Amino acid sequence: MATIATHRACHGLLLDTPLREELKIRNFQFEGGMSAEKRASWSHTKEPHGVESLAWGVVTNEVAEELLGCSTETIYQGLSRAQTAAMRQGGYGFAGNPMNIVTAIFIATGQDVASIAESCWAQLTPEYNYETKVLTLSLYIPSLPVGVVGGGTHLGPQREALDIMKCSGPGKKRRLAALMTAFALALDLSTVAAMANDTFSQAHARLRRKPVADTKANL
């Protein structure tokens, strides 16, 4: 809708009016590239494209040891080292792997998957209290170009996914963006914990695609 409206407005500026003469408008190029649509750009961190979203949560040491198999301090130390590495290699933001979640939900809910590039900047911020051993994590994604009407959201499976998350209908895109960010934060915590307790490689080995023993037999 924005594309159609902008196109018509541009053509309106070409009408033989005093405004065109005053501004000396000769012609226009539709989509000149300044929007950085479907491209990674620092502009998306300063002027959010879509929904700006922040999720945060706290993890006690007892919960971390019981469910994640390591202490909160170990997780915090791992994140601190990763932050240093991200700065040294010129990382674009800092997070674990939030785009795994964002991409999956984009596909499942009928979003424009090419717009993932606009969402790829994310900031994971850890804070650790050495007295209480409580780890606080926040994940900030400034640009999530999501929608809950139009496009692929009307397709059956995609509409069902939106219904499951209670994100169907007008006014629910912020809820969808919030859920994406919260799920992404949970995945980041799980990923960092797997690295901290040395189960990251084992999980990949256990869940990897198994080789097919006899291809002909399955045809």
Sketch out the chain's domains with CATH numbers.
52-198 (3.90.770.10)
CA distance 137 to 43: 25
- Flag residues of the chain having pLDDT under 70: 1, 212-219
Instruction: Tell me 65's DSSP state.
Output: I
Question: What pLDDT was estimated at residue 91?
Answer: 81
CB 144 within 8 A of CB 177: yes
Q: Any idea which residue has 């998306």 for tokens?
A: 44
Question: What pLDDT was estimated at residue 218?
Answer: 54
CA distance 152 to 109: 8
CA distance 77 to 74: 5
Question: What pLDDT was estimated at residue 184?
Answer: 96
Q: Any idea which residue has 């018509």 for tokens?
A: 8
Q: Where are the alpha helices (DSSP H) in 14-128?
A: 18-23, 43-46, 61-63, 72-88, 98-108, 116-119
Question: What pLDDT was estimated at residue 2?
Answer: 75
Residue 188 CA: distances (Å) to CA of 57, 71, 115, 148, 216 = 12, 16, 21, 25, 40
Question: What pLDDT was estimated at residue 158?
Answer: 93
Neighbours of 120 (CB within 10 A): 19
CA proximity to 121, closest of 49, 31, 35, 173: 49
Question: What pLDDT was estimated at residue 214?
Answer: 55
Question: What pLDDT was estimated at residue 42?
Answer: 74
Provide the CA 202 distance to its chain's centre, in angstroms: 26
